[in-house]
Chain A
């Protein structure tokens, strides 16, 4: 069975809108979303909340969210929030 997949880049200025867009796609029954975080240097509380929502939506739909190019500082924030285990990572 073919997997529906969507990939797009998250800009440093628009992390929250980017995540919301990904969430909308997931709600639209996309099975896999690949988010390119390579230009995101840090994330704030709002972005974290959006990521929690995205992770929850992915869990509900048994979908996969792949984060590409996450820098180690952001990765550590996700670890501290116990969010890292809810995403897949690509370097």
Chain B
């Protein structure tokens, strides 16, 4: 209990407890109501408020002695009719909004008991407004009106409550604290059953609400600056400002406080104000008003003037004005404590400032805004959109009212399409939780029902793929003025470049760029780029293995988009569709890329990936984007017939790894599965033949196709942890990629087939299927087995047999790497593998310790089939 609340008597506490209990009961019962039942209660409440608007306004005037009867009646009507018009068709029970395309539904949950503090300036209108909102949202409300507006508010609550009860609202839905005190408020603000505090009033009330630790809507003071810019419709502006500032004698906290007028129109505008009943004060009069109406101690307005008529204020301070004066206007020459009239004045007195420039005007408006008006309301009159834009950028206000009255404009629904309200959120600038016009959605907990969504998938491949013997002849159909052939020295020596030349259309100007047989470095890319630029190429033919084709992809990227930043484009990403850095769409030049693969493994001729070696910084940049995919792929086995045995084995294993990993990837789809499964079948059948009988044309053809088909799968489903391990290990110990893959492969199959320690989050998959996919592969290969575990075991065994037949090392130890050398490298290997972009599509999320285990299994080799028997 707070210090203030501690002063309450037991009887008073029991009384307050009863009020809250009634409200709590009503709120609990209210949760059972339907939208129709709620709406049946709201409508007659609105009718009752409309019928009693003048009566309640009169009560408010008599009790508070503030404002204008007619205006208070209008406010009551606005609070009823305009708010009703806004809420009547809004669903507030059950499902309130649906977003079928996003699989999202919003469901309303009432708040429960709301403790509401209402102000002296807008007493009955605020009560009407809050009652309608509370019923519409099935909440119960305990009111604590300002002590000097208690009777009128109590009567407003009574009228609303009786009407609501008559039409079915639960008993106790509205209660009003009798003769409420600060101690009562403190007690209720901290009550465990009060779920929300809605405090409309002065800064003290709002601060107390926010200090309670309860969720709160606190809406307090403002200080509205108005910029009257030289392009404005001056007649409209003057009438609007007078209408607004004199409305209810200026008691609406959104009303205008200081008008900043451009020098060029200043005199004209003041003349118009004077013609319409404004008393323009001289300097002496302005000083008098500031001295008498603003408390020099606090810097705030004195209560004596709040809500009073201009003539009465003038009389009170000894200022001679005409009897029909409706507004006082006093010049100021700065903003702040030393310029008293620059603060909030909830009475018909406007400060006016003459600005020499737009810049000065905006700065003065910012000063006013920061002098107690942050987050509240600001007004601009201008026909210049740039001025309006600048004003809205520099002023911190929840409501920036353009070419209309501030107070009536801020209420919403009259001069603009803002939400009608009697409660203005002032954002963090005003210590509030919202900048909105408070409305029904602030009286609801909105629950989001989020259904599982499946993001659209894709299957993207190069436009044209030509395969089988002599597919290179298809080059003839691609006209080119200037073609660059990128290749490596060996392929040039053995005549492959000549084959390509012979098949190009006549009149094609050809230049050959020979690059080293190694992963491309930036200087190699730049060399090719210079050739492309020098020969003004329109076509580039990459003839080679993965390194050559990767180099050509990057050359094309830089040629077409010279501004492409490879560091940025190589930044890691988790989902290619949500990556931070996008590949350039605008192209400076256009270039056709034709990839002719001379190995059967990497699949670079159809893949969207390229690796660049950054020797200076000792790292690799992996580029991935479908814009990197070659335009045309030629998969002609004549270029692989002379491939050495070792390269046949290494690249063939790479191809198998692509297919196996794409097959179990979390991005696998029926489209990629079809390719992965076919590639696996072809590799198991033809790789041993191609290895043992290099001249076997059929085996070479099928392996060449298998490499391309596997690449179609992994280009869309990506790879997995096997590649992450192989990349790290291969780079550290200088081991060929395919060979490094081979060392990991059986162990990774067993690892993925077991029940994961951590599942990989994947909306694309409904269940863990890696072990089943491996079993499916085993079935496809006719490996036998009755259970999934047996089939996985057989797949691992078949993979090991294949690797044995290819005579590749079966353990890291077999490579001659000692345990003493390997052991200290493992922590780094694990770190690098975990940073590798390959594994996020792996079906099993690898823990660092598991990556270390896999490295050690690969070090020891063998024994994996045993592990596979534990498959899920």
Interface residues of A (CB under 8 A from B): 42-46, 48-49, 73-74, 76-77, 80-81
Contact A44 B170, beta carbon cutoff 8 Å: yes
- B28 CB within 8 Å of chain A: yes
Contact A77 B31, beta carbon cutoff 8 Å: yes
- Of all chain A residues, the one with the shortest Cβ separation from B173 is A45
- Of all chain A residues, the one with the shortest Cβ separation from B22 is A45
Interface residues of B (CB under 8 A from A): 22, 24-29, 31-32, 112, 170-172
Min CB gap A75→B, angstroms:
11
Q: Knowing A44-B29, A45-B29, A48-B29 are in contact, say whether A81-B24 is a contact too (CB < 8 A).
A: yes
The A interface is mostly helix, strand or loop, or mixed, namely helix
Measured in the bound complex, the distance between the Cα atoms of B170 and A43 in whole Å is 10
Measured in the bound complex, the distance between the Cα atoms of B165 and A46 in whole Å is 14
Min CB gap A54→B, angstroms:
15
Contacts of A81 in B (CB 8 A): 24-25, 28
Min CB gap B29→A, angstroms:
6
Measured in the bound complex, the distance between the Cα atoms of B525 and A26 in whole Å is 92
Contacts of A48 in B (CB 8 A): 25, 28-29
Q: Knowing A44-B170, A45-B172 are in contact, say whether A76-B31 is a contact too (CB < 8 A).
A: yes
Picked from A44, A46, A49, A80, the residue with its CB within 8 Å of the CB of B31 is: A80
Measured in the bound complex, the distance between the Cα atoms of B112 and A76 in whole Å is 13
- Of all chain B residues, the one with the shortest Cβ separation from A49 is B25
Contacts of B28 in A (CB 8 A): 48, 77, 80-81
Measured in the bound complex, the distance between the Cα atoms of B28 and A45 in whole Å is 9
Min CB gap A47→B, angstroms:
9
Q: List 6 A-B contacts (CB under 8 A).
A: A42-B32, A45-B22, A45-B25, A77-B31, A80-B28, A81-B28
Contact B27 A80, beta carbon cutoff 8 Å: yes
Q: Which 10 A-B pairs have the closest CB atoms?
A: A80-B28, A42-B32, A45-B171, A77-B28, A45-B25, A73-B32, A81-B28, A48-B25, A45-B170, A44-B29
Contacts of B26 in A (CB 8 A): 45
Besides the known contacts A43-B32, A45-B171, A81-B25, 14 further A-B residue pairs in the complex with CB atoms under 8 A apart: A42-B29, A45-B22, A45-B25, A45-B26, A45-B29, A48-B28, A73-B32, A77-B28, A77-B31, A77-B32, A80-B27, A80-B112, A81-B24, A81-B28
Contact A74 B170, beta carbon cutoff 8 Å: no
Measured in the bound complex, the distance between the Cα atoms of B170 and A27 in whole Å is 29
Contact A43 B31, beta carbon cutoff 8 Å: no
Min CB gap B93→A, angstroms:
12
Measured in the bound complex, the distance between the Cα atoms of B171 and A44 in whole Å is 8
Contacts of B32 in A (CB 8 A): 42-43, 73-74, 77
Measured in the bound complex, the distance between the Cα atoms of B171 and A45 in whole Å is 7
Measured in the bound complex, the distance between the Cα atoms of B171 and A48 in whole Å is 11
Contacts of A44 in B (CB 8 A): 29, 170-171
- Of all chain A residues, the one with the shortest Cβ separation from B32 is A42
- Of all chain B residues, the one with the shortest Cβ separation from A83 is B28
Contact B31 A73, beta carbon cutoff 8 Å: yes
Min CB gap B301→A, angstroms:
44
Measured in the bound complex, the distance between the Cα atoms of B22 and A48 in whole Å is 11
Measured in the bound complex, the distance between the Cα atoms of B26 and A45 in whole Å is 6
- Of all chain B residues, the one with the shortest Cβ separation from A74 is B32
- Of all chain B residues, the one with the shortest Cβ separation from A76 is B31
- Of all chain B residues, the one with the shortest Cβ separation from A43 is B29
Measured in the bound complex, the distance between the Cα atoms of B24 and A52 in whole Å is 13
Min CB gap A1→B, angstroms:
37
Min CB gap A81→B, angstroms:
5
Measured in the bound complex, the distance between the Cα atoms of B172 and A48 in whole Å is 13
Contacts of A74 in B (CB 8 A): 32
Measured in the bound complex, the distance between the Cα atoms of B171 and A43 in whole Å is 12
- Of all chain A residues, the one with the shortest Cβ separation from B110 is A80
Min CB gap A73→B, angstroms:
5
- Of all chain B residues, the one with the shortest Cβ separation from A79 is B28
- Of all chain A residues, the one with the shortest Cβ separation from B28 is A80
Contacts of B24 in A (CB 8 A): 80-81
Measured in the bound complex, the distance between the Cα atoms of B28 and A74 in whole Å is 9
Contacts of A76 in B (CB 8 A): 31
Min CB gap B739→A, angstroms:
63
Contacts of B172 in A (CB 8 A): 45
- Of all chain B residues, the one with the shortest Cβ separation from A41 is B32
- Of all chain B residues, the one with the shortest Cβ separation from A80 is B28
Q: Which residue of B25, B112, B171 has the most chain A CB atoms within 10 A of its CB atom? A: B25
Measured in the bound complex, the distance between the Cα atoms of B26 and A49 in whole Å is 11
Q: Which residue of A73, A77, A80, A81 has the most chain B CB atoms within 10 A of its CB atom? A: A80
Measured in the bound complex, the distance between the Cα atoms of B170 and A73 in whole Å is 15
Contacts of B25 in A (CB 8 A): 45, 48-49, 81
Measured in the bound complex, the distance between the Cα atoms of B28 and A73 in whole Å is 10
Contacts of B27 in A (CB 8 A): 80
Min CB gap B192→A, angstroms:
10
Measured in the bound complex, the distance between the Cα atoms of B32 and A45 in whole Å is 12
Measured in the bound complex, the distance between the Cα atoms of B171 and A80 in whole Å is 16
Contacts of B29 in A (CB 8 A): 42-45, 48, 77
Contacts of B171 in A (CB 8 A): 44-46
Measured in the bound complex, the distance between the Cα atoms of B31 and A79 in whole Å is 12
Measured in the bound complex, the distance between the Cα atoms of B32 and A76 in whole Å is 9
Measured in the bound complex, the distance between the Cα atoms of B170 and A46 in whole Å is 10
Measured in the bound complex, the distance between the Cα atoms of B171 and A89 in whole Å is 27
Min CB gap B518→A, angstroms:
69
Min CB gap A26→B, angstroms:
22
Q: Which residue of A42, A45, A81 has the most chain B CB atoms within 10 A of its CB atom? A: A45
Measured in the bound complex, the distance between the Cα atoms of B25 and A43 in whole Å is 11
- Of all chain B residues, the one with the shortest Cβ separation from A77 is B28
- Of all chain A residues, the one with the shortest Cβ separation from B170 is A45
Contacts of A46 in B (CB 8 A): 171
Measured in the bound complex, the distance between the Cα atoms of B24 and A86 in whole Å is 18
Measured in the bound complex, the distance between the Cα atoms of B27 and A42 in whole Å is 13
Contacts of B22 in A (CB 8 A): 45
Contacts of B31 in A (CB 8 A): 73, 76-77, 80
Contacts of A49 in B (CB 8 A): 25
Measured in the bound complex, the distance between the Cα atoms of B24 and A90 in whole Å is 26
Measured in the bound complex, the distance between the Cα atoms of B32 and A43 in whole Å is 8
- Of all chain B residues, the one with the shortest Cβ separation from A44 is B29
Measured in the bound complex, the distance between the Cα atoms of B21 and A48 in whole Å is 11
Measured in the bound complex, the distance between the Cα atoms of B298 and A4 in whole Å is 72
Min CB gap B383→A, angstroms:
55
Measured in the bound complex, the distance between the Cα atoms of B29 and A48 in whole Å is 8
Min CB gap B283→A, angstroms:
63
Min CB gap B158→A, angstroms:
18
Min CB gap B831→A, angstroms:
50
Contacts of B170 in A (CB 8 A): 44-45
Measured in the bound complex, the distance between the Cα atoms of B813 and A68 in whole Å is 71
Measured in the bound complex, the distance between the Cα atoms of B29 and A77 in whole Å is 6
Contacts of A77 in B (CB 8 A): 28-29, 31-32
- Of all chain B residues, the one with the shortest Cβ separation from A47 is B29
Measured in the bound complex, the distance between the Cα atoms of B170 and A30 in whole Å is 33
Min CB gap B168→A, angstroms:
10
Measured in the bound complex, the distance between the Cα atoms of B438 and A74 in whole Å is 31
- Of all chain A residues, the one with the shortest Cβ separation from B33 is A42
Measured in the bound complex, the distance between the Cα atoms of B32 and A73 in whole Å is 6
Q: Which residue of B24, B32, B171, B172 has the most chain A CB atoms within 10 A of its CB atom? A: B32
Min CB gap A49→B, angstroms:
7
Min CB gap A18→B, angstroms:
17
Contacts of A45 in B (CB 8 A): 22, 25-26, 29, 170-172
Q: Which residue of A48, A74, A76 has the most chain B CB atoms within 10 A of its CB atom? A: A48
Min CB gap B95→A, angstroms:
16
Measured in the bound complex, the distance between the Cα atoms of B171 and A49 in whole Å is 12
Min CB gap B111→A, angstroms:
11
Min CB gap A10→B, angstroms:
16
Contacts of A42 in B (CB 8 A): 29, 32
Measured in the bound complex, the distance between the Cα atoms of B24 and A46 in whole Å is 13
- Of all chain A residues, the one with the shortest Cβ separation from B172 is A45
Contacts of A73 in B (CB 8 A): 31-32
